Amino acid sequence: MTTEENSNTSDSLFKHIFKWRLPLSKQTKHRANDTKGSRKDENLSDDVVKIAEGGFSKVYRVRDSNTGQHAVLKEMSITEWSDTVPSSIIREISLLREMNHPNIVRLLNVQQRNIIVNLVFENLDCDLHEFIHRNDFSANPLLIKSFMHQILSALAYCHAHKILHRDLKPRNVLVDVSNKIVKLADFGLARPFGEPDTIYTSNVGTCWYRAPELLLYSEEYTGQIDVWSLGCMFGEMVSGQCVFQGAGQDDELIAIYSVLGTPTKETWPEVATSRTLVPSQEYAAIDLKRIVPRLEPEGLDLFSRMLVLNPNKRITVEAALNHPYFKDLNSKGKP
């Protein structure tokens, strides 16, 4: 892997980086609420538009007035957490610098000015959440197939390099609309895996896309958590609705059981015998076709293999890439 190409692009694109006047939030805490969507902020110059604000960062789309090129700045303030650069920022930077894959967002540059760290990314048009809710995918099932294949390729790359994403959700996948390319983004919760007996914190990821082994507070997990999240995104692309919408960890698990059935000694022995959550009723599995009625049979087969409660029985990324659902795509994942 090389970052040479990235640095060349960043040199030409960001020669004038410091002329952009970002409203550096030195004293103020970032608001906890997300303010997604292209929103022009009065304090910003014409070349800067705030596109998102989360708990830990503000994200701006910036334009180089000399070249007309766009980039995206993710601004984080070190003092939001402590006096030192937080491990999540270091982790995101160090992992992204090493990544070189057509379906992973490119980190072009990193800047630090006092307490502000800016990650400079290539610009994409929108995230997958916006794309799903602005477009009717049902008219274009091949596009879903292509997006699924592209995301799986990026995940295979991450897992081959022993990196778990851990926060896969439509907001963290970016879309190049005209070229129909999707890219994984937001590696703030990602981390290396693979060392034997490594214990990880289980309180990661967004609840609606969180794998059941994480919801059950398992502290030993694998790349199969990313497969689960992608399975949820698959269902959302096909149906336009998030598949499991629980209001909190336990409720999310109930939402999952009410579709896939309560685990048994046969389906998931470890959990059935040591229940950390005993639902007030036993659920029987429903026919998954009811959730994604428009999905072709091979797609339904893949969907049902991705959403398997027991991670040991869930399809792997490699096996998913070779699933017959993708047989009508070329090797680049295009129709």
Q: Which of 171, 159, 283, 303 is nearest to 221 (CA)?
A: 159
The answer to whether residue 25 forms part of the interface with Mg ion (CB under 5 A) is no
- Residue 5 interaction partner, one of ligand ATP, Mg ion, none, beta carbon < 5-8 Å per kind: none
Q: How far apart are CA 26 and CA 171, in angstroms?
A: 26
Do residues 61 and 48 lie in contact, with contact meaning Cβ atoms separated by under 8 Å? yes
The residue (of 88 and 218) whose beta carbon lies closer to Mg ion is 88
Rounded to 10 degrees, the C-alpha dihedral 292/297/301/306 comes to -40
- Residue 173 interaction partner, one of ligand ATP, Mg ion, none, beta carbon < 5-8 Å per kind: none
Do residues 56 and 88 lie in contact, with contact meaning Cβ atoms separated by under 8 Å? yes
Please tell me the count of residues contacting Mg ion according to CB under 5 A: 2
Q: In this chain, which stretch among 182-190, 248-256, 262-270, 271-279 interacts with Mg ion, using CB under 5 A?
A: 182-190
**Residue 118 token pair:** 């800016």
Task: Say which of 41, 46, 136, 167 is annotated catalytic.
Answer: 167
Q: In this chain, which stretch among 140-148, 164-172, 316-324, 325-333 interacts with Mg ion, using CB under 5 A?
A: 164-172
Q: How far apart are CA 136 and CA 279, in angstroms?
A: 36
The answer to whether residue 186 forms part of the interface with Mg ion (CB under 5 A) is yes
Do residues 50 and 58 lie in contact, with contact meaning Cβ atoms separated by under 8 Å? yes
When binding is defined by CB under 5 A, the residue of 6, 103, 123, 172 that contacts Mg ion is 172
Report, in Å, the least distance between residue 145 CB and Mg ion.
25
State yes or no: is 167 an active-site residue.
Answer: yes
Which residue's entry shows tokens 């303030």?
77
- Residue 99 interaction partner, one of ligand ATP, Mg ion, none, beta carbon < 5-8 Å per kind: none
Instruction: Provide φ and ψ at 167, rounded to 5°.
Output: -140, 45
Q: How far is CA 133 from the centre of its chain?
A: 16
Q: How far apart are CA 228 and CA 23, in angstroms?
A: 38
Report, in Å, the least distance between residue 160 CB and ligand ATP.
23
Q: How far apart are CA 255 and CA 107, in angstroms?
A: 37
- Residue 170 interaction partner, one of Mg ion, ligand ATP, none, beta carbon < 5-8 Å per kind: none
Report, in Å, the least distance between residue 170 CB and ligand ATP.
8
Report, in Å, the least distance between residue 184 CB and Mg ion.
11
Query: Which residue's Cβ lies closest to ligand ATP?
Result: 54
- Residue 304 interaction partner, one of ligand ATP, Mg ion, none, beta carbon < 5-8 Å per kind: none
Q: How far apart are CA 316 and CA 159, in angstroms?
A: 10
The answer to whether residue 229 forms part of the interface with Mg ion (CB under 5 A) is no
Which spans of this chain sit near ligand ATP (rule: CB under 6 A)?
34, 36, 51-52, 54-57, 59, 72, 74, 105, 121-124, 127, 171-172, 174, 185-186, 188
**3-state secondary structure at position 50:** strand
**Catalytic positions, written as ranges:** 167
